[in-house]
Amino acid sequence: MPHLSVIVHGPNTQGHLTELLAALETRPLPDIEVIVAAVGDWARETAEEHAPDTIVVPLPEGTGDGAARAAGAARASGRWLHFVHAKDGLPAGAPRMVAERTAELDDTVDVLLFDHVTTTWRSAAAPSAGGRHLAAAGRADRTLDDAADLLRLAPLLGTRALRAGFWRAHEDLLTTDDEPYAAHAALLHADRVACLNQVAYDDRRLRPESLPPLAPEDRYTLIDRYESLLPLTRDRRAPRAVLYDLMVRDLLRTFAREDLPDPVAREFFRRASLAAVRWRPENHRRPAGLEGVRHSLLEDGAYTRYRAFQAANRTRRAARKAVRDRKRQLGTKLRDQQYRRALSRPVDPELAVFAAYWERGVACNPAAIAARLAELAPHIRRVWVVNRENAALLPPGTDHVIPGTRRYWETLATAKYLTNNVNFPNAVVKRPEAIHLQTHHGTPLKRMGLDQRDHPAAAKGLDFAALLARVDKWDYSVSANSHSTRMWERAYPARYTSLDHGYPRNDVFYTSGAAEVRAARARLGIAPGATAVLYAPTHRDYEAGFTPRLDLAALADRLGGDTVLLVRAHYFYGAASPLTGLRRSGRIIDVSSYDPVEELCLAADALVTDYSSIMFDYANLDRPIVIHADDWETYRTTRGVYFDLMADHPGQVARTQEELTEILTSGAWRDESAAKARAAFRRRFCEYDDGRAAERVVRRVFLGEPEEALPPVIPLERRTPAPTPEEATA
Domain range summary for the chain, segments of one domain joined by +: 4-212, 220-301, 345-506, 515-693+719-725
Residue 663 to residue 657: CA distance in whole angstroms: 10
Q: Give the pLDDT confidence of 546-556 residue by residue, as tens digits.
A: 566 788 888 98
Residue 429 to residue 413: CA distance in whole angstroms: 7
Mean pLDDT computed over 705-721: 95
Which of 137-151, 209-223, 270-284, 616-630 is the most confident on average?
616-630
Look at residues 579, 570, 589 and name the one whose alpha carbon lies nearest to residue 524: 589
Torsions phi, psi for 688 (to 5 deg): -110, -5
Contact partners, residue 632, CB within 8 Å, separation at least 6 = 611, 645, 646, 655
Structure confidence at residue 561 (pLDDT): 87
Question: What would the 3-class secondary structure string for 153-209 be?
Answer: CCCCHHHEEEEHHHHHHCHHHHCCCCHHHHHHHHHHHCCCEEEEEEEEEEEECCCHH
Q: Give the pLDDT confidence of 677-704 residue by residue, as tens digits.
A: 999 999 999 999 999 999 999 999 999 9
Which of 19-33, 296-310, 572-586, 642-656 is the most confident on average?
642-656
Type and span of the H or E element at 469: helix 464-471
The rounded percent of the chain whose pLDDT value lies above 90 is 61
Flag the least confident range among 237-251, 460-474, 653-667, 697-711.
Answer: 460-474
Structure confidence at residue 570 (pLDDT): 44
Q: Is residue 571 pLDDT above 50, yes or no?
A: no
Look at residues 354, 415, 408, 356 and name the one whose alpha carbon lies nearest to residue 383: 354
Look at residues 500, 511, 332, 350 and name the one whose alpha carbon lies nearest to residue 425: 332
The CA angle 651-653-655, to the nearest 5 degrees, is 170
User: Higher-confidence residue: 364 or 22?
Assistant: 364
Q: Is residue 381 pLDDT above 50, yes or no?
A: yes
Beta bridge partners of 37: 9, 57
Q: Is residue 413 pLDDT above 70, yes or no?
A: yes
Q: Give the pLDDT confidence of 126-179 residue by residue, as tens digits.
A: 888 888 888 888 888 999 999 999 999 999 999 999 999 999 999 988 899 999
Structure confidence at residue 27 (pLDDT): 52
Q: Is residue 441 pLDDT above 70, yes or no?
A: yes
Mean pLDDT computed over 364-390: 96
| Confidence label for 470 from pLDDT (cuts 50, 70 and 90) | very high
Q: Is residue 93 pLDDT above 90, yes or no?
A: no
Q: What share of the chain is helix, strand, coil (3-state, %, to 5)?
A: 50, 15, 35
User: Higher-confidence residue: 425 or 31?
Assistant: 425
Q: Is residue 270 pLDDT above 90, yes or no?
A: yes
Flag the least confident range among 151-155, 287-291, 710-714.
Answer: 287-291
* CATH entry, 515-693+719-725, from 3.40.50.12580, 3.40.50.2300, 3.40.50.300, 1.10.645.10: 3.40.50.12580
H helices of 472-596, in order, are: 482-491, 508-511, 514-524, 552-559, 579-584
Mean pLDDT computed over 119-131: 79
Structure confidence at residue 581 (pLDDT): 53
| Confidence label for 544 from pLDDT (cuts 50, 70 and 90) | low
pTM: 0.61
Residues 98 and 113 sit within 8 Å (Cβ to Cβ): no
Whether residue 596 is preceded by a cis peptide bond, meaning omega within 30 degrees of 0, is yes
Domain over 345-506 is classified CATH 3.40.50.11820: yes
Residue 108 to residue 148: CA distance in whole angstroms: 18
Mean pLDDT computed over 38-46: 91
Mean pLDDT computed over 361-369: 95
Please name the fold of domain 4-212. Answer: Spore Coat Polysaccharide Biosynthesis Protein SpsA; Chain A (3.90.550)
Residue 339 to residue 345: CA distance in whole angstroms: 10
Q: Is residue 49 pLDDT above 90, yes or no?
A: no
**CATH topology identical between 345-506 and 515-693+719-725:** yes
Residue 530 to residue 606: CA distance in whole angstroms: 12
Mean pLDDT computed over 710-723: 96
Structure confidence at residue 667 (pLDDT): 93
Q: Is residue 592 pLDDT above 90, yes or no?
A: no
Q: Tell me which amino acid residue 527 is.
A: A
Structural Rg of the chain based on CA atoms: 29
User: Higher-confidence residue: 72 or 546?
Assistant: 72
Structure confidence at residue 216 (pLDDT): 77
Q: Give the pLDDT confidence of 474-513 residue by residue, as tens digits.
A: 999 999 999 999 999 888 988 899 999 999 999 999 999 9
Q: Is residue 315 pLDDT above 80, yes or no?
A: yes
User: Higher-confidence residue: 355 or 318?
Assistant: 355
Structure confidence at residue 539 (pLDDT): 78
Q: Give the pLDDT confidence of 191-225 residue by residue, as tens digits.
A: 999 999 888 999 998 878 777 888 877 889 999 99
Mean pLDDT computed over 111-125: 84
The CA angle 454-467-415, to the nearest 5 degrees, is 155
Mean pLDDT computed over 5-32: 81
Residue 48 to residue 55: CA distance in whole angstroms: 9
Mean pLDDT computed over 423-427: 91
